[in-house]
């Protein structure tokens, strides 16, 4: 009965709220129906010189105008010519010490053979195929309830922390920076998708809204970390109502930018195959103490990449039951109200949005514990997870995150309802010492 009343309320909300529409995401299977030249493209890495300091006014702290870039491009052009490839673009990635060149096989030679030949070229650090990634969203019944407001006691959390002075890199599709519930957010927006026109898109805007929508402004909903600074990095694109798509080079550019611009938390609400370039960038992020959040793909036995990558916090939505390996955390991700482009709000579902909840929660913890590194924040989230009994044939849960418990440890005080269950006396000692 409660579900029926909620559904009726949702319909009333949709019909009576000006500018409001419910956002529906396309099934993931449709993403593979779009022809894409990326199937004929490869990434070729050349080594960057070690960082150095020039004591003059021209030093900018990056490689974008470094004197060796022209020389490396000439080497890349020679490599392309030797292997029958067409040089498309390049992007220095000083975070991992390589210059990444995108090349295209213009004919019909098998890409596997091209990669074997490139691997034997002594000028190449490594070469790889261009992998595709997609956002993780689904279409469930709509309810006008913000799950975190009830399940996570969001108002109580915000009395303790808003995520201030924490920068979260949202690597996703285009964020609507003019949305009224994202006033002043994001603090920075960059587009790394060169072949698709820049746009304001549903998936990225919804993820940004869940993380950082303004609270107490009398409109819309409240983000998990409304005080955080969102770095909106467009590495994915949406087309024809299909799921958001990304690839190795666009994600690599965005990850490198996040590393070079002091992101504290990186949210990756997407999934796809393991990728050497992205693994190297994730290793660099984790080594710097950055917290990395990834959305778990229920269609993949291990949750998919990057959710299953060591050090990444993999997140699935509460209530999902799939044969995914242990280590995945649960968070709200079903019928979540959030921002959609064009000054509208809508309901979204999927592990993409569960990951966004955890990115916001990590920012709340990071405000309370500014010296905690990514590993410490991850331990705090894992330690707060409720561990239900294992049910044969269902997801072997690490557990649903208890946001009140996580913040109680970080604040070393009671945060929500101070019952015997939530009292800090029943929690292990703080994990941030």
3-state secondary structure 15-82: HHCCCCCCCCCCCHHHHHHCCCHHHHEEEEEEECCCCCCCCCCCCCCCCCCCCCHHHHHHHHHHHHHH
Query: In this predicted structure, what is the pLDDT of residue 33?
Result: 31
Residue 62 within a domain: yes
Residue 433 within a domain: no
Domain region containing 76: 37-130
Query: In this predicted structure, what is the pLDDT of residue 139?
Result: 44
Known catalytic membership, residue 402: no
Query: In this predicted structure, what is the pLDDT of residue 340?
Result: 93
Residue 257 within a domain: yes
The answer to whether residues 143 and 198 belong to one domain is yes
The answer to whether residues 14 and 163 belong to one domain is yes
The answer to whether residues 148 and 286 belong to one domain is yes
- Residue 76 · residue 123 · CB < 8 Å: no
Burial of 9 (0-12, 13-18, 19+ CB in 10 A): middle
The answer to whether residues 12 and 143 belong to one domain is yes
- Residue 375 · residue 292 · CB < 8 Å: no
Calpha distance 312→297 (Å, rounded): 14
Q: Any idea which residue has 């999902």 for tokens?
A: 320
Query: In this predicted structure, what is the pLDDT of residue 65?
Result: 53
Query: In this predicted structure, what is the pLDDT of residue 298?
Result: 85
Ranges in the chain, pLDDT < 70: 1-37, 51-67, 138-145, 321-326, 386-398, 418-433
Burial of 17 (0-12, 13-18, 19+ CB in 10 A): middle
DSSP-derived secondary structure letter, 198: -
The answer to whether residues 98 and 139 belong to one domain is no
Known catalytic membership, residue 134: no
Query: In this predicted structure, what is the pLDDT of residue 52?
Result: 55
**Active-site choice (134, 153, 203, 357):** 203
**Active-site choice (66, 99, 132, 172):** 172
**Active-site choice (352, 357, 384, 402):** 352
Residue 145 within a domain: yes
CA 352 and chain centroid, separation: 8
Query: In this predicted structure, what is the pLDDT of residue 316?
Result: 92
Residue 431 within a domain: no
Calpha distance 250→275 (Å, rounded): 13
Q: Compute the C-alpha angle 142/332/153, nearest 5°.
A: 105
Residue 96 is part of a domain; what is its CATH number? Answer: 3.30.70
Calpha distance 117→35 (Å, rounded): 26
Q: Compute the C-alpha angle 335/338/340, nearest 5°.
A: 115
Query: In this predicted structure, what is the pLDDT of residue 129?
Result: 94
Residue 368 within a domain: yes
The answer to whether residues 181 and 94 belong to one domain is no
Q: Compute the C-alpha angle 399/171/385, nearest 5°.
A: 10
Kindly report the pTM of this predicted structure: 0.84
Integer Rg of the chain from CA:
22
**Long-range contacts made by residues 261-264, C-beta under 8 angstroms, separation at least 24?**
261/167, 261/188, 261/231, 262/167, 263/167, 263/168, 263/169, 263/231, 263/290, 264/166, 264/167, 264/168, 264/290, 264/291, 264/363, 264/366
Of the three residues 109, 130, 151, the one that is the final residue of a domain is: 130
The answer to whether residues 247 and 391 belong to one domain is yes
The answer to whether residues 124 and 142 belong to one domain is no
DSSP-derived secondary structure letter, 401: E
Residue 64: C-alpha distances to residues 56, 91, 186, 255, 278 (Å): 17, 8, 24, 16, 20
- Residue 330 · residue 394 · CB < 8 Å: no
Residue 210 within a domain: yes
Q: Compute the C-alpha angle 367/368/369, nearest 5°.
A: 95
Of the three residues 130, 158, 189, the one that is the final residue of a domain is: 130
Tally the domains of the chain: 2
Query: In this predicted structure, what is the pLDDT of residue 299?
Result: 83
Of the three residues 100, 130, 160, the one that is the final residue of a domain is: 130
Closest-CA residue to 72 (of 115, 114, 125):
125
Known catalytic membership, residue 203: yes
């Amino acid at each position: 009965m409660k579900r029926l009343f909620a559904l009726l309320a949702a319909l009333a909300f949709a019909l009576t709220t000006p500018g409001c529409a419910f956002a529906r995401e396309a099934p993931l299977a449709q993403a593979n129906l779009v022809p894409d030249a990326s199937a004929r493209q490869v990434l070729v890495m050349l080594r960057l010189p070690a960082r150095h300091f020039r004591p003059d006014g021209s030093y900018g702290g990056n490689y974008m105008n470094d004197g060796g870039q022209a020389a490396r491009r000439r080497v890349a052009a020679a490599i392309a010519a030797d292997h029958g490839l067409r040089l498309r673009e390049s992007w220095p990635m000083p975070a991992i010490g390589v210059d990444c060149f995108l090349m295209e096989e213009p004919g019909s030679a098998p890409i596997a053979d091209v990669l074997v030949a490139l691997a034997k070229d002594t000028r190449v650090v490594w070469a790889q195929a261009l992998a595709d990634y997609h956002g993780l969203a689904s279409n469930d019944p709509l309810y006008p309830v913000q799950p975190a407001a009830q399940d996570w006691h969001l108002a109580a959390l915000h009395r303790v922390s808003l995520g201030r002075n924490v920068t979260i890199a949202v690597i996703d599709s285009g964020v609507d920076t003019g949305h009224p519930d994202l006033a002043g957010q994001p603090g920075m927006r960059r587009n790394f998708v060169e072949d698709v026109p820049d746009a304001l898109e549903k998936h990225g805007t919804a993820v940004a809204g869940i993380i950082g929508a303004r609270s107490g402004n009398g409109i819309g909903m409240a983000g998990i970390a409304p005080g955080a600074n969102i770095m909106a990095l467009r590495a994915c694109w949406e087309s024809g109502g299909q799921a958001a798509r990304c690839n190795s080079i666009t994600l690599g550019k965005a990850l490198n930018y996040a590393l070079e611009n002091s992101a504290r938390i990186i949210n990756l609400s997407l999934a796809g195959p393991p990728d050497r370039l992205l693994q190297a960038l994730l290793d660099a992020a984790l080594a710097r103490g950055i917290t990395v959040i990834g959305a778990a793909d229920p269609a993949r036995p291990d949750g998919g990449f990057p959710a299953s990558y060591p050090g990444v916090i993999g997140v699935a939505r509460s209530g999902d039951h799939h044969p995914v390996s242990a280590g995945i955390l649960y968070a709200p991700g079903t019928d979540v109200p959030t921002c959609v482009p064009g000054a509208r709000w809508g309901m979204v579902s999927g592990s993409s949005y569960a990951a966004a909840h955890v990115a916001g929660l990590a920012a709340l913890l990071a405000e309370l514990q500014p010296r905690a590194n990514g590993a410490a924040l991850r331990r705090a989230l894992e330690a707060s997870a409720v561990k239900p009994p294992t049910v044969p044939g269902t997801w072997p849960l690490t557990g649903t995150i208890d946001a009140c418990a996580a913040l109680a440890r970080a604040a070393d005080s009671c945060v929500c309802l101070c019952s015997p269950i939530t009292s800090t006396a029943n929690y292990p000692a703080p994990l941030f010492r």
